[in-house]
Amino acid sequence: MKNLSLFSLLSGLLLLSACVGDGTDGPAPVTNSVIEDIAANYNTIIENMELVTDINDYPGQEGKYTFYDLDQGITIADSSSDVWDIAFSGTTLLANSAHGGGIQVIQKSYSEVENAPESGFEATNASWYIYTGEAPNLPKHAVLPNSNATVIIKTPTGKYAKMEIISYYEGNPDVTTAEFANYMTRPADGYFSFNYVLQESESTQLYHVDSYTFLDLDTGSIVEDSLSSQWDIGFNATNIIANTGHNGGIQPLNTAYNLVDEAPLEGYGSMDAAWYTYTMNNTPPHAILPKENYTLTVKTPDDLYAKFRIISYYKGNPDVNSQNFINFIRPADRHYTIEYALQKDGSRFFE
């Protein structure tokens, strides 16, 4: 009897030890992590929304240049400055070569130019146009932009741009009219109208690729392959998607992040774009701000569950109540800072 009782006691202790040690008494602890500045299809291209017209600060003054800054879209008075990128005088285009800038004209239409050349730049160029002279079926002695010529600019800051000159005459007139053909009624020349694209980074790429940035919550790293099962959530501007191609999903909860201790079992969708408030004319004006008490839950392709909240939509997580931010002195948007927790034990519980 004593031996039997001792055996029963030892067996009970072993069983108790196994139950305590196998982790079945509750979900595994989760760690909250923060990832900063997830670039969400950030567009580094500046492109004029409307035609830039009648650039000429010195009408009728031969030999005077008008200096233009592509970044700000304004003319610059100080010719010695490193702020301006291209200057206009008569039919001559001038680069800011004193500060490392350059210019060239390539024989391609504006829409065909996707990348800027890295060499071949010069200080001046005047090969962007056609002089009609006495050519038949064209207005006589006119300066008309060559539709198969694109101006390429290298700025003093090492950025690249392309420019399409639309008109050389005040008011961008219709050059096919009798009014333009008549020298007496033809508008004044020397007034440039143009379109342009400026690459804000130092890339030579002169177009923007609309794409998502894909994040693996397990490793906290960016995944390049959109078809992979490795990523869990993707970001593009204010849209956040789940990897539904591999049975992932996303579901918003109107609950504060720290109060979400369980992910839903069902109800997951493919995208959320309701996580923010657009302030309109309120303070700070025209800003994207994360909603309070709003948490996104995620089902990953690995059948794991996570929760996250957006802390900021702006690079560096700036103080949105600061005077700089209110006055539009802001860092780049489309840069997410998020806080998240991933439950790796397969359960839906975060506590």
Q: Is 257 exposed, middle or buried (0-12, 13-18, 19+ CB in 10 A)?
A: buried
Q: Are residues 221 and 325 in the same domain?
A: yes
* Structure-block tokens of residue 344: 């790796």
Q: Which among 143, 165, 199 is the end of a domain?
A: 199
Say how far residue 205 (Cα) sits from the centre of its chain. 14
Q: Which domain holds residue 88?
A: 45-199
Question: Phi and psi (nearest 5°) for 265?
Answer: -80, -35
* Structure-block tokens of residue 307: 């929760």
Count of domains in the chain?
A: 2
Q: Are residues 223 and 146 in the same domain?
A: no
Q: Are residues 166 and 258 in the same domain?
A: no
Q: Which among 199, 229, 248 is the end of a domain?
A: 199
Q: Which among 151, 177, 199 is the end of a domain?
A: 199
Q: How confident is the model at residue 119 (pLDDT cuts 50, 70, 90)?
A: very high
Q: Are residues 172 and 119 in the same domain?
A: yes
Q: Are residues 193 and 51 in the same domain?
A: yes
Share of the chain above pLDDT 70, in %: 93
Question: In what helix (H) or strand (E) does residue 199 lie, and over which residues does it extend?
Answer: strand 189-199
pLDDT of residue 25 exceeding 70, the answer is no
Question: What value does the mean pLDDT take over residues 45-62?
Answer: 92
pTM of the model: 0.68
Q: Are residues 130 and 268 in the same domain?
A: no
Q: Are residues 34 and 59 in the same domain?
A: no
Q: How confident is the model at residue 10 (pLDDT cuts 50, 70, 90)?
A: very low
- 89: nearest Cα among 66, 116, 112, 113: 66
Q: Can you tell me the distance from the alpha carbon of 124 to that of 153, in angstroms, rounded to the nearest whole number?
A: 11
Residues comprising the chain, all counted = 351
pLDDT of residue 2 exceeding 60, the answer is no
2: in domain: no
Q: Are residues 318 and 219 in the same domain?
A: yes
Structure confidence by residue, pLDDT tens digits, 166-212: 999 999 999 999 999 999 999 999 999 999 999 998 899 999 888 99
Q: Is 333 helix (H, G, I), strand (E, B) or coil?
A: strand
